[in-house]
Chain A
């Protein structure tokens, strides 16, 4: 099983700042099959990125994903008020599919 470790656990930033979230895999993720999701309280997860760097439909271009192998990054270039949420990575290169523990982006 591929274990995904997200860091930091909590990121305290102000609107307008840049957010950099990390997702590290215990073994290489095949074909960079890694996705990122955003989840707000009381809501379902929302797909942001798939294939490590492809934005999902309707996702603003301030969200970008990068990485390969075991190290992946989600970057939010300039935080908007609606971006404060929990972010999860998920790999689909191996079975079973697994999620990271999440990073909470909170208002400083």
Chain B
């Protein structure tokens, strides 16, 4: 069964850093892309970043230079390193298996940026 599972969310102060993990099962992260999407409280979905099967990365302008995607193929896991966090980064962060669209989503991990 194809599954992705996010972890690593929590409370962080403005300007701080956090690393989210997306553990994949039922498929290899070197065979499929993975993307990160977030949803601020009561708001819609925002595409953030992604890594293709070949390892190429893409970022939304809103996080370029602050967020970095990486992966550990041996753990079949993708990471989202988030630096210089701002209050408006507060959201549920989802990862999804990505073929241009997300066909399998995790349940999300909540990131709260607050002093």
Contacts and interface: CB of A to CB of B under 8 A. Distances in A.
- A-B complex is real: yes
Interface of A: 33, 35, 37, 39, 43-47, 50, 56-57, 88, 90, 92, 95-102
Please indicate which of the listed interface residues A33, A44, A50, A56 has the most CB atoms of chain B within 10 Å of its own CB: A44
Contacts of A37: 45, 102
B9 interface: no
Interface of B: 35, 37, 44-47, 50, 58-61, 94, 96, 99-108
Given A33-B100, A47-B103, A90 B45 contact: yes
Contact of A99 (B45, B61, B104, B105): B45
Contacts, number: 58
A101 B44 contact: yes
B100 A97 contact: yes
B103 A56 contact: yes
A47 B102 contact: yes
A43 B46 CA distance: 16
B108 A97 contact: no
Q: Is the interface of B mostly helix, strand, loop or mixed?
A: strand
Given A46-B105, A47-B101, A90 B47 contact: yes
Nearest to A31: B100
Nearest to B60: A96
Contacts of B45: 37, 39, 45, 88, 90, 99, 102
Nearest to A35: B101
A92 B100 contact: yes
Contact of B44 (A35, A88, A97): A88
Please indicate which of the listed interface residues A43, A90, A100, A102 has the most CB atoms of chain B within 10 Å of its own CB: A90
A100 B46 CA distance: 9
Contacts of B105: 44-47
A45 B102 contact: yes
